[in-house]
Amino acid sequence: MTNKVTKAGSISRRRLLTTASAGAVLAVSPFRINLVRAEEAPIKIGFPVPLTGPYGAEAQDQVRAGQLAVAQFNDAGGLNGRKAELVVRDDKLNPGEAATRTLELVEKEKVNFVVGSLSAAVQLAINNVTKERGVIFNSISQSDAINEAADFSKFTFHEALNPHMTSGAVGRYAFTKFGKKVAFLTADYAYGHEMVRGFLEVGKEFNIENLGDVRHPLGTTDFSTLLPRLQALKPDILCISNFGRDQQIALKQATDFGIKKSIQIIAPLLSHASRVAAGPQAFEGVVGGCSFYWGIEDKFASTKAFNDAFRKMYDGKLPTDYGALGYGGVRTVLEAVKSAGSVETDKVVAALEALKYDYYKGPQYYRKCDHQSVQSVLVIKSKSKDMKNESDVFEVLSTEEPNEKNLRSCEALGHKA
Amino acid sequence: MAGLSFDLIALQLFAGLALGAIYVLFAIGLSLIFGMLTVVNFAHGAFYMVGAYVGLYLISIGGNFWICLVAVPILIGLFGLAVERVLIRPLYGRGIDYPLLLTFGLSYVMVECVRIAFGKTGYPFDTPEVLQGAVNIGVGYFPLYRLFVIGATAVVLLALWLFLEKTSFGLIIRAGARDPQIVRVLGVDVSRVWLIVFGIGTAIAGFAGLLAAPLQGVIPEMGGTILAEAFVVTVVGGMGSIGGAVLAGLLVGVVVSMTSLFAPEMAKVSIFALMAIVLIVRPQGFFGRAGLMS
């Protein structure tokens, strides 16, 4: 009896040891850790934007609104309880830096999606990385090239407007109202080039006369040596295609040189953050385009809801154009995740393609062939008086409704029909 | 593009000189500090930026531009004195790279502090009302404020020249730059002289930042671009030569302006091309003393 008991005791001890060690082996095995992590890991969205440098003001708004979209997703319960997280990186407005950061986001941070960028050139560098790694990238800054077959991939989405749409809308408005003789001052990189090409294309319909295109490097701080030449050309319209701090300084100095007295200045895009940073004087009377202005909240319930949520999260501040893009870019991806019920790339791509959405500016959808978001373009004018609050900076002159006719055709972009 | 008229070329030349005046004003402080102290002040751009921000702050609490014109150089100069006394002085006699690295790091600290205090986004800086608008200078319209900047630069240069050449303290400064040891033997406290020179140099940087603010607004990174241009000016003019900095600054302005007229894409490259040519033909610059860097 005693023997048996001892035996049984020894067996049970041996069993205990075996089980314990097996458990320990299982616990430290990578397989098991992955299982646990997969249940708890957040959905990560990489967000490379140029926080420092000439487009910093706009980039910070992209982050703010992107955070809002993530917060809303998480508050609504996430994907069956799985939360999302925005992983922000500074791409310094440099394609090389952006590629490195994106690679790091994909390889080290293991992000599920990438949303971001604020440059026609930098987004192509990001897209190159995501395309190769098969990661969905939703770009929130302007580019024509990203729609074209050479740069496009099924993982590439474009929530922002493209230069063709923007310059088209502004051109159609300006060339009928202000005159036919047009001179250009252009930032010498993809964004500027694409904008000028768009203006000249739409200008053909209106028989505009191109007096000349003066190009300046990105990050120019003094335009005093370029302005006399442009003034001497005596155009009806001076079209300034640059962005961020370049736009602020160019408009400020053009005002100082008295150009506005005889010439109407237009810009393809008038940035809200730049208008605030440069002040009312510099932007006074300038006409341009934008993808979003908070003031359309009277027209769209979605705009009102977005504005209110943004105000609540950021002490009464109102969202800007590029902020709205940050929101739209992140929200569309997260909504697609919800409707796909998964973060699997192919399922989310299909869900994004199927989206018909109205999250902040009225109806939008991604065109099938190039994943360009078909949406409205606003033509706006900068205000200098009767401003109700610090965000009351633009007046909406006209709205070009969403229409695939205003996009380049799929065939022209090199996509097979 | 339309043909070139005489008026356009004349206006372009004038625009170049006006731009050159801004380069001169910025580079002069850099050159002064290098010439007298052999300190390559990489934080010069940061002092310039802080000058603009101090002006912005003073105006926001009720000051005006004219008060700033006096207060900003004084405040930035005092800040410069503190920097020299606490950070630069322990490094004298240790080789040229020590203060260079220190000021390089300091510039990052200053930019980051301003980002924390004022945010990363820029601010508008309105041109004072009486200086707004453009005036006819005979060949075309030119912004009144830029004419004011040319005048202010001329005043600073004249004051600096009188101070260095016509006062006894200026004599000590010049002697201290030639041979500090002899000056010390003669019973002059050289470290006090250097302190004051550094203060004057930074005060001019702050003043230049304030003058630049209405041209381009203020942003924490505004000192970066101009620092590169100012180094070109000091190298072309000859490291440490004030007269050289004036001549080179105006020349760089005119080169940028004329390149802008004919090939605007090349404007940024042109100043570095100019520097390369000058370095090949005359390595010490226009009026530089050979061997100052060794």
3 state DSSP class of A13: helix
Task: Establish if A209 touches chain B: CB-CB under 8 angstroms.
Answer: no
Half-sphere exposure of A151 (CA within 13 A, CB side): 23
Return d(Cα B52, Cα A394) in angstroms, integer: 28
Average pLDDT of chain A is: 90
pTM over 0.90? The answer is no
Tens-place pLDDT, residues B218-236: 999 899 888 988 999 999 9
Class of domain A164-290: alpha beta
Number of domains forming the structure of chain B: 1
Q: Are A244 and A274 in contact (CB under 8 A)?
A: yes
Closest CB to A225 among B1, B221, B257 = B257
Is the Cβ pair A60, B12 closer than 8 Å? no
pLDDT of A11 over the 60 cut? no
Judge whether B110 lies within some domain.
Answer: yes
Mean pLDDT in residue range B17-37: 91
Tens-place pLDDT, residues A54-71: 788 889 999 999 999 999
Name the closest residue on chain B to residue A187, using Cα atoms: B265
Average pLDDT of chain B is: 90
Judge whether B6 lies within some domain.
Answer: no
Q: Are B2 and A235 in contact (CB under 8 A)?
A: no
Judge whether B243 lies within some domain.
Answer: no
Chain B residues with CB inside 8 Å of A216's CB?
Answer: 264-265, 267
Is the Cβ pair A253, B127 closer than 8 Å? no
Q: Sorting pLDDT into bands at 50, 70 and 90, what band is B137?
A: confident
Q: Chain A: nearest CA to B54, how far in angstroms?
A: 17
Q: What is the pLDDT of residue A137?
A: 97
Is the Cβ pair A229, B141 closer than 8 Å? no
Mean pLDDT in residue range B187-209: 93
Q: Chain B: nearest CA to A257, how far in angstroms?
A: 5
Which site among A49, A64, A182, A256 would you substitute to test the B interface, given the most B Cβ atoms closer than 10 Å to its Cβ?
A256
Return d(Cα B233, Cα B255) in angstroms, integer: 12
Mean pLDDT in residue range B165-183: 86
pLDDT of A35 over the 70 cut? no
Chain A residues with CB inside 8 Å of B134's CB?
Answer: 256-258
Task: Establish if A336 touches chain B: CB-CB under 8 angstroms.
Answer: no
Chain A residues with CB inside 8 Å of B124's CB?
Answer: 277-279, 281-282
Q: How does strand A84-90 pair with strand A287-290?
A: unpaired
Structure tokens at A41: 């890991």
Task: Establish if A53 touches chain B: CB-CB under 8 angstroms.
Answer: yes
CB-count burial class (<10 Å; 0-12, 13-18, 19+) for A35: exposed
HEC string of A97-159 equals HHHHHHHHHHHCCCCCEEEECCCCCHHHHHHHHHHHHCCEEEECCCCCHHHCCCCCCCCEEEC
pLDDT of B3 over the 70 cut? no
Phi-psi region of A48 (alpha: psi -120 to 50; beta: other; left: phi over 0): beta
Q: Are A218 and A55 in contact (CB under 8 A)?
A: no
CB atoms within 10 A of CB A197: 14
Closest CB to A229 among B8, B143, B215 = B8
Return d(Cα A186, Cα A257) in angstroms, integer: 18
pLDDT of B284 over the 90 cut? no
Domains A43-161+297-375 and A164-290 share a fold: yes
Q: How does strand A181-187 pair with strand A237-241?
A: parallel
Mean pLDDT in residue range A280-296: 94
B292 compared with A248, residue with greater pLDDT: A248
Q: Are A171 and A202 in contact (CB under 8 A)?
A: yes
Q: What is the pLDDT of residue A142?
A: 92
Query: Cα B243 to chain center, whole Å?
Result: 13
Q: What is the pLDDT of residue A16?
A: 56
**Quick one: what percent of chain B has pLDDT higher than 70?**
97
Is the Cβ pair A222, B16 closer than 8 Å? no
Structure tokens at B6: 């005489």
Sheet of A181-187, strands arranged across: A209-216, A181-187, A237-241, A264-269, A287-290, A377-382, A394-400
Q: Are B31 and B240 in contact (CB under 8 A)?
A: yes
Name the closest residue on chain A to residue B254, using Cα atoms: A225
Closest CB to B217 among A225, A231, A278 = A278
Tens-place pLDDT, residues B120-132: 778 889 899 899 8
Judge whether B235 lies within some domain.
Answer: no
Mean pLDDT in residue range A351-357: 95
Is the Cβ pair B219, A245 closer than 8 Å? yes
pLDDT of B279 over the 80 cut? yes
pLDDT of B294 over the 90 cut? no
Tens-place pLDDT, residues A87-103: 999 999 999 999 999 99
Q: Sorting pLDDT into bands at 50, 70 and 90, what band is A84?
A: very high
Task: Establish if A214 touches chain B: CB-CB under 8 angstroms.
Answer: yes
Task: Establish if A248 touches chain B: CB-CB under 8 angstroms.
Answer: yes
Q: Sorting pLDDT into bands at 50, 70 and 90, what band is A364?
A: very high
Tens-place pLDDT, residues A132-180: 999 999 999 999 999 999 999 999 999 999 999 999 999 999 999 999 9
Mention every residue, 6+ apart, whose C-beta is less than 8 A from residue A157: A136, A137, A138, A139, A332, A352, A366, A371, A373
CATH architecture of A43-161+297-375: 3-Layer(aba) Sandwich (3.40)
Q: Any idea where the domains of chain A sit in the sequence?
A: 2-31, 43-161+297-375, 164-290
Which site among A213, A221, A322, A387 would you substitute to test the B interface, given the most B Cβ atoms closer than 10 Å to its Cβ?
A221
Domain that holds residue B210: 25-223
Q: What is the pLDDT of residue A32?
A: 47
Q: What is the pLDDT of residue B293?
A: 52
Judge whether B112 lies within some domain.
Answer: yes
Which site among A62, A94, A224, A246 would you substitute to test the B interface, given the most B Cβ atoms closer than 10 Å to its Cβ?
A224
